[in-house]
Amino acid sequence: MLENFIMPETLENDVIKLVARNNHQYDEDLWLETDKNRNFLRIYLPWVDKTNSLQDCNSATDMFTDKWQKGENYAYSIVLKATGKAIGSIDIHNIDCENYKGEIGYWLAEDYNGRGYMSGAVQLIENAAFSLGINRIEITTQKENIPSANVAKRNNYVFEGTLCKAIYNNGKFYDKLVFAKLKNA
């Protein structure tokens, strides 16, 4: 059983900093980017249509704070060092200490796509998680979500298979692709 798995509050590379979403420091940035990118994000992220005010963003942060304390989900704001603004989010969730595994999820404001920021964030999370004893990290995506599947492939996650009609999104069922990386692969 994996013990003492607690992710660090901050992680950084040369261009981005991941800051634990266990306080309200970046709620306003995340709210503005969510609202501005509503059409881009809502295709694959059902929570977007339930986020209609800064207060909704505050409530989400409270939920993430609670899950951080319980060791269930470690969510971070992705902060661009050049501006000091949060431009998206990444988390490691479904932490399963019995089986030493977790799953990464993410979103990034559209204007900041195509620059490798999310790949950098994935690498920061996985390095920290593997060094804390996690053995397997999954990235799952709706089959149609090519940019997200490309993040997994670009970072050497192995495609393991398709879960048929495993996602219910906007009134329809969709196939889910499962990618995974092992610590010592």
CB of 149 to ligand COA, least distance (A): 8
CB of 153 to ligand COA, least distance (A): 9
**Should residue 154 be labelled a site residue for ligand COA when binding is judged by CB under 6 A?**
yes
**Should residue 114 be labelled a site residue for ligand COA when binding is judged by CB under 6 A?**
yes
Strands 158-169 and 136-142: unpaired
CB of 55 to ligand COA, least distance (A): 22
Query: Which residue, 47 or 69, has its beta carbon nearer to ligand COA?
Result: 47
**Should residue 106 be labelled a site residue for ligand COA when binding is judged by CB under 6 A?**
yes
Query: Which residue, 36 or 115, has its beta carbon nearer to ligand COA?
Result: 115
- For residue 31, how many other CB atoms are within 10 A of its CB? 20
Residue nearest to ligand COA (CB): 116
Quick one: which of 67, 66, 64 has its CA closest to 26?
A: 64
- Strand 74-80's sheet: what is its strand order? 10-12, 16-20, 74-80, 85-96, 101-108, 136-142, 172-182, 158-169
**Should residue 108 be labelled a site residue for ligand COA when binding is judged by CB under 6 A?**
yes
Q: Which two tokens mark 50?
A: 């339930």
Query: Which residue, 26 or 106, has its beta carbon nearer to ligand COA?
Result: 106
Residue 55 · residue 62 · CB < 8 Å: no
The DSSP secondary structure of 34-67, one letter per residue, reads HHHTHHHHTTT-GGGGG--SHHHHHHHHHHHHHH
Binder to ligand COA among 13, 119, 123, 169 (CB under 6 A)?
119
**Should residue 118 be labelled a site residue for ligand COA when binding is judged by CB under 6 A?**
yes
